[in-house]
Structure 1
């Protein structure tokens, strides 16, 4: 059934447009895959300017619920999508950089999420999931892999395990938290005094984690995942968590000698 559009109030127009579109989604009138009417049709129906409508659509695109294609043809226009991973990762990365969340809190959140992911993956991961993760590890072990490539593959491995856990929300949150510290992890990897040794140690831990998941040993996989994360991510975090009164608005810099992932 076609969505029913009604004019919105003129004050703070683009926010009211957002509210109207959200109403349509919550009511089930708009679903993933549905296309919005063209701007030239939707703006007058809502009683707003096309510039206000475009501003609202840009916000929706930023938060991962809409994709817009310019031009003409069957792919042109705005379409409702479900793409929370990139949007949440970008948002959380900015807030970590701004100091909205300190690195100690990010570390603890990551430990909770990934313990759950690895334990559940040991039960729910399919053969295809395991093969994908194994291919990622194979690429990480190539002798000519660069540090940025290694960091990207490292992120992919952890996100793949989360996706294989059977819990989509856990997967999305794990991806967002891992993305939020990707720049800091990259800095720490690049600062490693002995990169080949660091890479070998991380690869050994990743391989052991995948083996435990493959064997279905969820508790052991969860314990090793926590050890693995604290071993590297923990080096980015001060020993004493900052108090709200004296917390630095910017996250701590990367260590000069990372010890793990």
Structure 2
């Protein structure tokens, strides 16, 4: 029987650099706050060109693992960080624009994430995050005529509820999912005939959510947050043109 050959995977040089850095992170040799060696030294150690190294570092910077400071001095160079929230939101937003995911996918992801987070928050009890959410609620009450400010505070409020769950990954994913459609939701809010009335209703839901979480009524809070998301976000999704990727 003839031997079956299959093509092997060809990696570009910068992908090999990424794999090498990933191995260092997984092994604990690199951690948040650590500074990478100077570019010339690191390229030589890895046996790659400086252009390949730079391409790999740009990828890591884009996904929020690395921050690079140009120039000279103690702050210059590339440093490992742990700030994925904005980066994940940016990646999701680009994939949404490309049609990789539909708005319906985002809606369902929000429902799953936020149901679980408010239930967990109700079990966890009051934290500093809960108190900050109360402050945001008060600020939103004074911003009902300003759709852009309300949208910003609303996003922060839902992310804080996710943080109240005590699960940082759920909080990060919630922030990324919400950030991926924030501009689209803001456009929808601006185009409403009676935005202040809608804002008041959304804020009434927020106040009741906090009350239920504070009372430890996780099941009721989960039902309310789903109705809340499907009420406005769901109507927004259904009003959009059909997703060409579907």
TM-score (norm 1): 0.84
- 2:73 matched residue in structure 1: 73
RMSD across aligned positions (CA): 1.9
C-alpha deviation, 1:220, in angstroms: 0.8
Rounded Cα–Cα distance in structure 2 between residues aligned with 1:180 and 1:30: 30
Is this contact kept in 2: 1:57–1:66, CA < 8 A?
yes
C-alpha deviation, 1:121, in angstroms: 0.8
Q: Which has the higher helix share?
A: 2
Rounded Cα–Cα distance in structure 2 between residues aligned with 1:120 and 1:130: 12
Map 1:16-27 to 2 at 5 A. 16-27=16-27
Residue among 248, 252, 256 paired with 2:244: 248
Rounded Cα–Cα distance in structure 2 between residues aligned with 1:11 and 1:226: 44
Rounded Cα–Cα distance in structure 2 between residues aligned with 1:176 and 1:143: 23
C-alpha deviation, 1:63, in angstroms: 0.8
Rounded Cα–Cα distance in structure 2 between residues aligned with 1:136 and 1:11: 48
1:200 to 1:144, Cα distance in 2 relative to 1, 3 A: closer
Question: What is the number of residues matched between the two proteins?
Answer: 235
- 2:198 matched residue in structure 1: 198
- 1:30 matched residue in structure 2: 30
Map 1:89-238 to 2 at 5 A. 89-143=89-143, 146-238=146-238
Is this contact kept in 1: 2:24–2:30, CA < 8 A?
yes
Bigger drift between 135-144 and 180-189 goes to 135-144
Bigger drift between 122-131 and 76-85 goes to 122-131
Rounded Cα–Cα distance in structure 1 between residues aligned with 2:97 and 2:149: 22
- CA deviations on 1:13-55 (whole Å, 9 max, x unpaired) are 2111111111111122111111100112111222222222111
Listed as ranges, the gaps of 5+ residues in structure 1 are 1-9, 251-261
**Post-superposition, which runs of at least 4 consecutive aligned residues in structure 1 deviate over 2 A?**
143-146, 236-239
TM-score (norm 2): 0.89
Secondary structure class of the residue paired with 1:237: helix
- 1:51 matched residue in structure 2: 51
Is this contact kept in 1: 2:33–2:79, CA < 8 A?
yes
Secondary structure class of the residue paired with 1:79: strand
